Chain A
Amino acid sequence: MSHAPRNSVRRWFKGLFLKRVHHMITCREFEDFVLRYLDDELSDRQKSVFEWHLRLCRECREYLAAYERALEIARSVPASSGEAVPQDVPEDLIKAILDAREH
């Protein structure tokens, strides 16, 4: 049996709840706060609202965890794969730079 109708009702109710209840924000509004939350730039009240949404919303909680993990991986890759210091600098490039300096 399909769960689509039940999911649809659940999402309708969730959307209504988040829009109407005081101290709540929708998932779309949550998205606008993500960067400032991670940079610790939200006011105490904004942070509290953001974290209430996180507690109540499975989708945003898992989204944020994956977003942060993607960021950690992006930050780690260049250094770990040795891209920071390649070993194959062509000698003719070094010579060209030094020659150009003399002219």
Chain B
Amino acid sequence: MVDDPSKSDDAASLPAEHEVAAERLVRDNIGWMLALSERLLRDRGLAEDTVQEAFMSAFRSLREFEGRSSLKTWLHRITVNAALSKLRQIKRRAEDPIDEHLPEFDRHECRVEAPWSNLIAVDDVMENAELRERVSKNIDALPDTYRIVLQLRDIEGYDTGEVAELLGISVSNVKVRLHRARAALKKLLEPILRGEVDR
């Protein structure tokens, strides 16, 4: 993951038991940690639980923080680990299969793809709150197995090896899941991409 130095980096150099430093650490970082957890878990209550657990874990190991990465990068990974652990704990309903959203080929191994007469510009989506909301919902609609890989690699910025390590799966498995997630997302976003959604 790309380092993104936090303004509270110096908090790591203060004694862990220092109350002012602890409060500053929490206040400076809780916003983005909560947003990250909510993106991964799709539930505000679970995200709040996860952030509490992440801070407890960070306080326990603050002395071990060696400053090889920025404090924010370190906290980011702790939060992701806590969210993934929470995802494993909660009982989710059986995932919908992703197959119906994957590319189609005919018996001659030719792609079945309707012609594209229009492809929406990124800015046209970013400037429209309703379209952004629909994109977020479509990302959330992906089965967890695939969604998590797409979010960690493409949205949170971890590299393939780091995603494999976080999820405890092989690099080749990450690549398979990532490609399927992207292909399925493209299919889900097609009405928006083709400019067929009212703006």
Contacts and interface: CB of A to CB of B under 8 A. Distances in A.
B108 A81 contact: no
B35 A85 contact: yes
Nearest to A28: B109
A80 to B, nearest CB: 5
B103 interface: yes
Nearest to B113: A59
Interface stretch (B63-71, B83-91, B129-137): B129-137
Nearest to B60: A101
Contacts, number: 154
A4 interface: no
B23 interface: yes
A74 B27 contact: no
A85 B32 contact: yes
A21 interface: no
Interface of B: 19, 22-23, 26-27, 30-32, 34-35, 38-39, 48, 51-52, 55-56, 59, 103, 105-113, 115-116, 119-120, 122, 125-126, 129, 132-133, 135-136, 139, 150, 154-155, 175, 178-179, 182-183, 185-186, 189-190, 192-193
8 interchain residue pairs of minimum CB distance: A15-B108, A27-B111, A26-B109, A59-B113, A70-B186, A59-B111, A62-B116, A35-B179
Given A71-B186, A97-B26, 19 more contacts: A12-B108, A15-B106, A15-B110, A16-B108, A18-B110, A19-B109, A26-B108, A30-B111, A31-B183, A59-B112, A60-B113, A63-B111, A66-B116, A71-B185, A73-B126, A77-B125, A84-B32, A86-B38, A100-B56
Interface of A: 11-12, 14-16, 18-19, 26-31, 34-36, 57-60, 62-63, 65-67, 69-78, 80-81, 83-87, 89-90, 93-94, 96-98, 100-101
